[in-house]
């Protein structure tokens, strides 16, 4: 019913400071007020055929989310035709910040990014970024699938978790075409990578503990296994798809029947769950999945997946790739004895968001996350053909996994059609000058190809 995150968003707030101009149609002050977010009782409302979207970010973002949900509804019906048994309309509440989402839903766990509540027929989430392949776009695809399930499941809560969550995870793999069309071509990359690595290391979950009749305590790990199991049934062959379709029809007409999965596996695949799991594991291990990136000779790092590379800034900076304490960081460089730290984080730009939108969103969230915040400067940024911005500030972060001490931080953000690149450089304020040359070198050695 809910989707979770492991990377805290770098999202969204208001702050009075020096602002680079990003729009010719609106003044900086108008843009700042727009991205400050409205009070919830004055949130924008956008209606489509199946959804009423309420969002207190900007009117344009509200409209884009409404259009997305309507396209998703078409994709759900195309992927699982002839299931819907009734007409229904839903609401989607999209808060402008993560902090507001958690404040209004205090019973949700810290890592929750969104959920669907059948009683209200409503999706709840917030506007933000969740790492390499996630954003509010992904959350709406997942939670919208739960809303779609409400159209045909005889008993929503009486349906096994693996079916509901597996179907929802399947739609996390949506791709957006050049004209905005949605499609499902590959399993969701992060889920596939998780399961494949665990299977390769002989640490994988048994499917009986995820999809079996005696399965209990559906966990955060279980989402990926359930999603790949449903993908395997839906996408790998006619017999597999026939088995899944019959199971869903049974859940629509009769509700959950104990032993139904084993019966249908035998009927369509001639195997029990143990035999099906062997075939499924083999399929997972054959899937190609590109790793985030790779270390390069001389202390460099490159990522074909995320279309960027960076070289070591100076000889006395040490690199730690794919082992960063902050999840979502691709590569980290540290300078011993100075507290100097450089990292690159890449977010997917699925909506997509422009430079001006992101600038005010980044500023807004700093107010939520940084204590004693003082913005020293902000300016436009250009890296080859790509635009962005740079913010320099001081303050401390009580929830930081790097340090809770006061730091001077410079965020250089570059925006492309597909990605948002964040080069973060930080050190204790008194050590900034000692590290400044390395910081300047890092910016010059960051290469982006989109």
Q: Which domains does the chain have, with CATH numbers?
A: 2-286 (1.10.390.10), 294-448 (3.40.1000.10)
pLDDT at position 352: 74
Q: What is the pLDDT of residues 320-378, one digit of tens each?
A: 754 545 667 889 999 999 999 999 999 888 667 889 888 988 988 898 889 999 999 99
Which helix (DSSP H) or strand (DSSP E) does residue 98 occupy?
helix 98-104
pLDDT at position 54: 98
pLDDT at position 102: 87
pLDDT at position 388: 95
The CA–CA distances, whole Å, from 196 to 21, 263, 280 equal 45, 27, 11
**Dihedral (CA of 124, 128, 130, 132) sign:** positive
Residue 196, SS3?
helix
Query: What does residue 375 show for φ and ψ, rounded to 5 degrees?
Result: -85, 120
pTM of full prediction above 0.85: no
Mean pLDDT of the residues in the chain = 87
Q: What is the pLDDT of residues 47-65, one digit of tens each?
A: 999 999 999 988 989 999 9
Going by pLDDT thresholds of 50, 70 and 90, the confidence category of residue 29 is: low
pLDDT at position 309: 95
| 20 or 356, which is more confident | 356
Going by pLDDT thresholds of 50, 70 and 90, the confidence category of residue 189 is: confident
- Of all residues in the chain, what percent carry a pLDDT higher than 90? 63
Query: What does residue 368 show for φ and ψ, rounded to 5 degrees?
Result: -70, -35
pLDDT at position 312: 94
First to last CA, the chain: 34
The CA–CA distances, whole Å, from 240 to 52, 131, 230, 271, 287 equal 36, 32, 10, 11, 17
User: Are 146 and 161 spatial neighbours (Cβ–Cβ below 8 Å)?
Assistant: no
Identify whether 30 is preceded by a cis peptide bond (ω within 30 of 0). Answer: no
pLDDT greater than 90 at residue 397: yes
């Amino acid at each position: 019913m809910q989707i979770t995150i492991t990377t805290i968003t770098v999202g969204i707030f208001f702050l009075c400071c020096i602002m680079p101009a990003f729009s010719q149609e609106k003044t900086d002050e108008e843009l700042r007020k727009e991205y400050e977010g409205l009070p919830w009782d004055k949130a924008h409302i956008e209606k489509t055929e199946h959804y009423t979207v309420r969002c207190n970010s900007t009117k344009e973002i509200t409209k884009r989310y409404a259009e997305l949900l309507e396209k998703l509804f078409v994709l759900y019906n195309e992927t699982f035709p002839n299931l819907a048994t009734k007409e229904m309309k839903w609401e989607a509440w999209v808060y402008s910040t993560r902090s507001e989402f958690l404040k209004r839903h205090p019973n949700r766990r810290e890592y929750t990014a969104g959920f669907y509540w059948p009683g209200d027929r409503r999706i709840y989430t917030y506007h933000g970024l969740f790492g390499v392949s996630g954003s509010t776009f992904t959350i709406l695809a997942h939670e919208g699938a739960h809303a779609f399930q409400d159209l045909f499941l005889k008993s929503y809560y009486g349906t096994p978790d693996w079916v509901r969550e597996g179907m929802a995870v399947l739609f996390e793999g949506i791709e957006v075409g050049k004209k905005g069309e949605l499609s499902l071509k590959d399993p969701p990359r992060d889920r596939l990578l998780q399961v494949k690595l665990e299977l390769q290391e002989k640490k994988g979950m048994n499917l009986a503990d995820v999809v079996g009749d005696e399965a209990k305590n559906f966990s955060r790990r279980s989402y990926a296994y359930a999603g790949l199991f449903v993908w395997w049934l839906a996408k790998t062959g006619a017999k597999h798809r026939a088995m899944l379709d019959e199971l869903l029809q049974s859940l629509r007409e009769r509700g959950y029947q104990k032993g139904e999965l084993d019966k249908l596996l035998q009927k369509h695949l001639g195997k029990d769950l143990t035999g099906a799991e062997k075939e499924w594991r083999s399929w997972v291990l054959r899937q190609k999945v590109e790793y985030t990136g790779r270390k390069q000779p001389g202390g460099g790092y490159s990522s074909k997946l995320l279309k960027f590379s960076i070289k070591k800034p100076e000889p006395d900076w040490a690199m730690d790739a794919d082992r960063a304490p902050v999840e979502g960081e691709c590569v980290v460089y540290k300078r011993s004895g100075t507290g100097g730290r450089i990292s690159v984080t890449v977010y997917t730009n699925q909506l997509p968001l422009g430079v001006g939108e992101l600038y005010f969103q980044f500023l807004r969230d700093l107010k939520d996350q940084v204590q004693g915040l003082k913005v020293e400067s902000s300016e436009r940024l250009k890296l080859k053909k790509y635009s962005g911005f740079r913010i320099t500030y001081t303050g401390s972060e009580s929830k930081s996994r790097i340090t809770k001490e006061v730091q001077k931080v410079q965020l250089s953000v570059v925006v492309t059609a597909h990605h948002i690149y964040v080069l973060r450089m930080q050190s204790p304020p008194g050590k900034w000058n000692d590290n400044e040359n390395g910081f300047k070198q890092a910016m010059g050695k960051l290469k982006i190809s989109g």
